[in-house]
Amino acid sequence: MSLIVLCAGGHARVVIEALLSRGIRPIAVADAARVGKVIGGVRITASDDDVLKMSADEIALANGLGNRASRRDSGLSDRRALFERFAARGYRFPVIAHASAVIASDAQLGDGAQVMAGAVIQPAARIGQNALINTRAVVEHDCVVGDHAHVAPGAVLCGGVSVGESVHIGAGAVVLVGVKVGAGAVVAAGAVVTRDVAAGGFAGNE
């Protein structure tokens, strides 16, 4: 099946590299503002609307849209909306895992989950649909990462952590054993989280 990457920003280059590590070369990237350019060795040839004219039975998609969190917003709504727009129309988003990622045999990954280079997912972990486990992040045993969440580069979820949907765990953050992070919350880069974080809340320095 042919695969197209949606969006042509920085995260799209990382997604393309993960695909190439598995011997998968996307046939195109879709980004209306950049048609005719090349990203990661793949030409940008279409817009989202062009993709929607293609049969969902003949192509698979990869979400190349990243996010930029702030203290009050995980910044994941656009990434989520892009995934849901196409998934609602029957398009398939396969799991993408870089060849260097380590994923336990009994870990569960939802549709469109992405596991980037050097990341580790340990036994009995569950990763939601369209969730992103970024470069060298660690998801320990029995963790749950909700749909559309982002565990940023170098972050560590210790055993039994629960991360709600659309949560942003910042780069290099550490969430200690059994902590629950509510939906839409933001954990700042480098934070050490020792207690639960309410839905929509913030953990870390100002």
Predicted confidence at residue 206, as pLDDT, reads 57
Non-local (6+) Cβ contacts of 73 within 8 A are 186
**Mean per-residue pLDDT for 140-149?**
98
Predicted confidence at residue 205, as pLDDT, reads 77
Identify the CA nearest to 148 among candidates 170, 162, 133: 133
What one-character-per-residue DSSP string does 30-67 give?
Answer: E-GGGTT-EETTEEEEE-HHHHHTS-TTTEEEEE----
Domain boundaries, the chain: 2-87
Which 3 state secondary structure label does DSSP give 192?
strand
> Given its phi and psi angles, is residue 23 left (phi above 0), alpha (psi -120 to 50 degrees) or beta?
left
Topology of the domain covering 2-87: Rossmann fold (3.40.50)
Non-local (6+) Cβ contacts of 57 within 8 A are none
Integer Cα distance of 122 and 152 in angstroms: 17
Six token digits for residue 96: 């993408």
Is pTM beyond 0.85? Reply is: yes
**Mean per-residue pLDDT for 12-25?**
97
Predicted confidence at residue 117, as pLDDT, reads 98
**Mean per-residue pLDDT for 113-117?**
98
Note the pLDDT tens digit of each residue in 46-76: 999 999 999 999 999 999 999 999 999 999 9
**Mean per-residue pLDDT for 174-184?**
98
**Mean per-residue pLDDT for 65-94?**
97
- Is pLDDT of 1 > 90? no
Note the pLDDT tens digit of each residue in 185-198: 999 999 999 999 99
- Is pLDDT of 97 > 90? yes
